[in-house]
Amino acid sequence: MLEKLNKKAPYQLNTVNEEIAMEIKILADSENALLKRREVRFQVDHKQTGNTPPRLEVRKALATELKLNSDLVFIKKFKTKTGTNTAIGIANVYDSSEQAKLIEPEYIVKRNIPPEKPKEEEIKG
């Protein structure tokens, strides 16, 4: 677990509109046995795009860095420092999605789930 600290990983993620390039660096990774989760503090360098990358893209990249399924990763806080192209974030990584739904507040779970596309029936009706 300690070998992952201070490790940079470049990511090229493709979205519908543009390609997002970012580097993720794990700053701290600690185990919380009581809540059955890992608490990860990370840094994202997004110099190529200039804009803060979307939360869902960062979630996928962080899950890839940790070699886990993105359904188990919940980004709790993610904010770019003023005047820089560096964002600092906090994420909780659970052993199971059921455990995450028991502990994480509902608004955090909703933030980390991709929005659903509206069905054609709902649009017509």
Q: Supply the pTM of this predicted model.
A: 0.73
Q: Structural domain of residue 43, as residue ranges?
A: 10-115
For residue 92, what is the domain's CATH number?
A: 3.30.70.3370
* Alpha helices by DSSP H, 31-125: 55-66, 97-103, 106-111, 120-124
Name the domain count of the chain: 1
Q: What is the pLDDT of residues 57-112, one digit of tens each?
A: 999 999 999 999 999 999 999 998 888 889 999 999 999 989 998 999 999 999 99
Q: Which of 9, 21, 19 is nearest to 47 (CA)?
A: 21
What average pLDDT does the structure give for the chain?
81
Residue 121 lies in a domain: no
Residue 70 lies in a domain: yes
CA distances 68 to 12, 64, 93, 106, Å, are: 18, 6, 9, 22
CA separation for the pair 56, 58 (Å, rounded):
5
